[in-house]
Structure formats: C-alpha cells, structure tokens
Structure 1
Amino acid sequence: MAREIKFGNRMMGDGHPAYVIAEVGINHNGDMDVAKKIIDAAAHAGADAVKFQKRTPEVCTPPEQQKQMRETPWGYITYLDYRYKVEFNEEQYREIDRYCKEKKIDWMVSVWDEPSVDFMEKFDTPAYKVPSASLTDHNLLKYVRKTGKPIIISTGMSTMEQIHKGVNIVGEDNLVIMHCTSTYPCEPEELNLNMIGTLRKEFPNNPIGYSGHEVGLVPSAVAIALGATSIERHITLDRAMWGSDQAASVEPGGFERLVKYIRVTEAALGDGVKKVYESEKGSMKKLRRVVSE
C-alpha cells in the first residue's frame, strides 16, 4: 500500500510536495475581515490550505467550565459566551468557502463534536481534521469516518496506546497521522521530532505529518527532513493579538519564509543516490590531481 492519499485535487504523501496547512483556528477572534486577511497571507505565502476550528459550544465545552467568567475583548463574560463569540455561522462559512475559492486555496476545519460534522457536510472540503483533544473520542472518530472524506488526526497529549486505539477505530484508509505536542508555545526539548520516524515505522501505510506549536521556523523544516509529508502551523496577523493560540502562531512574513524553508528542504534532500553532478565537473577538472575509476 502506497503511503499517499488523494487530498482534493492533489496527492499527499511520500514522493509528493509537503502539504502545508496554515492553521487559522480561532485567531480571527470572530472577525470575518481578520479571517480574510489571514487567508490572504496564507495564500501569498504558498500554503496549500487554511484550517479553521468548528465547535458546537454547548456540546464540547465541559459543564464545569461553561459558567466560568473570563476577561475577553467582548467584556467579562462566561466561557460559554466566549466560545460563541469566536464561532462562525453558516453564512460566514459560506463566505469563507467563496473567498478561498477566489484565492485558489483549500480550506478545512477541525471538528470537535458530531453536530459540527453535520454542519460541515454542507461544504465540499478536502478532508476533516480531528484535533489532539478528541483523539480518544472514539464515537467522534467513527462519525467522521462515515463521511467518506480523508481524515487527519493529531496525536498531542496522547500515549502510543491511545494513538493505536484511535487509528484502529478510525481505520488506516485515507488517514494522515500528525505528530504533535499540545503545548502553546512548545519548548524545543518537548518537540520530540524523532517521533515522526517512530510513527512512520508504526504506521507504514499512512502519511505522517507534523503539527507544530513552537516559536520559530527551523523545527518545521527539520520535520520535512525526518519524513513529514505535511506541515501544520498556526498563522496570525500579529502575535500580540488577543487569544490563547497567538503566541504559538507565525506572522505573515514568517509564514512566507516557512514555506520557502520547506520547499528548499525538499529540494535539498535529493534521492539518496550518489552521483557526480554536471556542476561539479569544472571543480573536478581544476582540483583533482589523481583520477581513478
């Protein structure tokens, strides 16, 4: 079985350019104009897709947290009210759909609950993402699988046993597994990029990706060198904006550099077959004193 799957109009997996996902999440803070500016930045940078988050607040917000109060840009409100403030409705998602088509960039969402899957079935996105927090929600995994779309699962805050159980539940067909550490931002010592190789050995039929929350760009390029076939990083207009994910996000100029680093890394890896390049022959003629076969 080839380690590749069809993702919309292109292939993702070994032997194909890395699929770069710009994770908008809720960095738009419920503002459509901000969301569009982030989409613009992702498209300009050369990302393949932007990704949002879809929750049904009253379903996926734990009851003990719903009435907790917090300071927000909308005032001192309950956590449940805040969750509603950052959720886009159907009309807004239709505008996102239209705008992404105009900008020629894929879009998708992380689904956090079953009603959100039903909601998203109104749209023709290339895949569904199941976030790390929901990897152990086996009912949700089964529900997403029924859609027939490719699925991406993230593995943050999970043991290997939990990852295997999740994969067994959702099935290996049309499945991308993302290595992830769910700390925002994440220190280098906890990125554990060698897990990419571990996951490639554990799941030889599946493309393995990397969902990063570090500060900086280098680890994401290193992830490509270690075999990641997709990269997901949060994107924002300004890391100083309000929101819990902003500090672990990449600003537009940085995201443009990130995509360039990924493409340079891919080009530099080569095929592993030693050869004498045409460009070396001039140096060989000038510098090599002893010629041997």
Structure 2
Amino acid sequence: MTVTIGSRVVGGGRPSYVIAEIGLNHNGEVALAKQLIDVAAEAGVDAVKFQKRTPEISTPVHMRDTLRETPWGTMTYLDYRYRVEFDRAAYIEVADHALLRGLDWFASPWDVPSVDFLEDLNVVAHKVASACLTDVPLLEAIRDTGKPVILSTGMSTIEQIDAAIEVLGTDQLILMHATSTYPMEPDEANLRMIPVLRDRYAGVPVGYSGHERGLQISLAAVALGAVAVERHITLDRTMWGSDHAASLEPAGLQHLVRDIRIVETALGDGVKRVFPGERAPMAKLRRVLA
C-alpha cells in the first residue's frame, strides 16, 4: 500500500519520506523558522512539519497557571504557549518559504479549530502527535478532511492504537512507531515494533519518529523497513526550549539524509545474484567451478 503526500509517494519500496520536525523549535520567530526550513532543504529532506495549537483549548487546565522561566521572562505556561504560537500571517510566510524551497509542509494540529486553521492554508497532510492519539473528536476532524494522515504511536498501548485506527481508517494512513521520551535512550527505542505494526495493520505503511541523540537508531529503522523518518531539527541543541536537546543540528540532518539513502541502496531487492564486482575475485579465488 502507498500513500501520496504532495507529489511524493510513500511506501511500496519508494525512498523513505524524510520529515524535518521544526515543531516549536522556531521559538515563535518567523526568521528562525525560515532558517530551519533552509537547513532542511539543503539536507535534502522531503517535508518540514510544525505544531499548531489553540492554546486556550489544547493546554491542560492543570498546567495553565504553572510558571515557566523563558527568554521573555517568567510567564504562565498558557502565556508561553501564546508567545510561541504562529498566527495566520506567520504561517503563510513560512509555508511560502517551504514551498519555494521545494518542500512539503504540514503540521500537527492539537485541537479541532487548529485542523480548520490548517485546512484553510491547504496543507498536504495532517500529523497526529502521540499525545493526541486518544483524542477522538480531533481524530474525527482530521479524518473528515480527506487528507493523508501520519499517526505517531508514542505513549500508547496497542489497544489505543487499534481504537485510533478504527476512527481514522487505513486508506490514507501512515503509522509512525515512536517512543515519546525526550531525549530517548536506546533501550526504549523498541524498533522491533516496526514489523509488528506492519503485520498487525496489513497494508498500512509504517515509519519511524525519533527523539534520540545521534543517527544510528533512525538508520536501523530504515533497515527494518521504515517508509518515513521524522526527526526534530534545530540550529543548536543548547538553545532554549523543550525539544532542542532531542533535535539534530544542521550537519547531523545532512548526515542522516545521506546515510538513509546509502542504507536504502544497500538493502537491494533480495534476489541473490553474482554482482559484476564479484567476477574478478571469483575468477581469481574459486578453485572448483559449478
């Protein structure tokens, strides 16, 4: 089964669809978002992704008045959410920049009004964040757009994933194996879930959304058949913000895309053959000919 996002086909043996997750690493600054889009384009990714919230809806009640130290001073968590949220004009500006750089762009809507907001901007797909997998009204709103859906499965049981897929359907669905630890340690990666998900939801493409340090685990996911790879990106992992430490810096993103393409080439087609490069060693070393 394949799913088409923009002009790219995902699954069915195609190259992995690489998503650079900008998320909130723009820290509410359009100029920084554009820099991150440039980093993504220069690395050769396929898409950039943001997060869209209506803060008064998506911020848990028990968190709203919690004080947070920020570069803009001490503020409540709710005020912080408003501070880093892009409005329509900002999204149009960053979306145009992504399209000019040849990238798909979309976002994770965290509430129903955010789905409508993104639909008005004509996104090519919707991403369901792991934290939203159990939000049935949100899943229904996303399903009703008719757009491709990328569903992250972190912090979820298999029964919760079953229930989400029951709502979303499978016609335009890409599952993303994920572990929602920031940053994630290797012993929580559980990459064997990639073939488990693929077998359980027959025909649904399965990718990987990673929050680890380094590249090895994401590359192993591709070797296990991940049809898409998503990683957070930043200009500098030491920047202020909750996701920067689990993000890739520009050189790391470039190396990731390069190495994914090498791994894909190395996987081959599974048909045993004698390669041209083996013929000279065979003539020199094989004593008994078949």
Taking structure 1 as the reference length, what is the TM-score of the superposition?
0.98
Q: C-alpha separation between the residues in 1 aligned to 2:115 and 2:257?
A: 30
Instruction: Flag structure 1 segments of 5+ consecutive residues without an equivalent.
Output: none
Gaps of 5+ in 2: none
| 2:249 is aligned with 1:254 | no
Tell me, in whole angstroms, the C-alpha distance in 1 between the residues paired with 2:231 and 2:124.
18
Whether 1:18 aligns to 2:38 is no
What's the counterpart of residue 151 of structure 1? Answer: 149
Residue 120 of structure 2: SS of its match in structure 1? Answer: coil
Q: Which residue of structure 2 aligns with residue 69 of structure 1?
A: 67
Runs of 4+ in 1 over 2 A off after TM superposition: none
Tell me, in whole angstroms, the C-alpha distance in 2 between the residues paired with 1:120 and 1:9: 19
Please give the per-residue CA displacement for 1:161-211, whole angstroms capped at 9, x wherever unaligned.
000010011111100010000000001000000000100111112110100
The equivalences for 1:92-171 within 5 A come to 92-171=90-169
* Structure 1 residue corresponding to 2:204, chosen from 203, 206, 209: 206
Find the aligned partners of 2:187 and 2:65 in 1 and give their Cα distance. Answer: 36
**Displacement, 1:6?**
1.1
Write the distance in 2 (CA, Å) between the matches of 1:246 and 1:161.
31
Q: 2-side partners of 1:222 and 1:160: how far apart? A: 22
Cα displacement (A) at 1:14? 2.4
Question: Is 1:232 matched up with 2:218?
Answer: no
Q: Deviation of residue 124 (structure 1)? A: 2.2
Q: Distance in 2 between matches of 1:269 and 1:205?
A: 20
Amino acid of the structure 1 residue aligned with 2:58:
C
User: 1:121 is paired with a residue of what secondary structure?
Assistant: helix
Counterpart in the other structure of 1:185: 183
Instruction: Give CA-to-partner distance per residue, 1:263-289, whole Å, 9 cap, x none.
Output: 001000001110001121111111111
Alignment partner, residue 286 of structure 1: 284
User: Hey, what does 2:269 align to over in structure 1?
Assistant: 271
Which 10-residue stretch deviates more, 5-14 or 229-238? 5-14
Partners of 1:160 and 1:102 in 2: CA distance: 39
3-state SS of paired residue (2:26):
coil
* TM-score relative to the length of structure 2: 0.99
1:83, CA displacement in angstroms?
Answer: 0.2
Give the Cα–Cα distance (whole angstroms) in 1 for the partners of residues 218 and 12 of structure 2: 17
- 1:130-163 deviation line (CA, Å, top 9, x unaligned): 1000000011101111111000110000000000
Residue 36 (1) aligns with residue 57 (2):
no
Q: 1:8 aligned to 2:6?
A: yes
| Comparing 43-52 and 122-131, the one that deviates more | 122-131
What one-letter code is carried by the residue in structure 2 that aligns with 1:38?
A: L
| Residue in structure 2 matched with residue 87 of structure 1 by the alignment | 85
Q: Which of residues 228, 242, 246 in structure 1 aligns to 2:240? A: 242
Aligned length: 290
> Quick one: percent identity of the two aligned structures?
56
- Deviation track 1:22-51 (CA, whole Å, cap 9, x = no partner) reads 000000100111111110000000000000
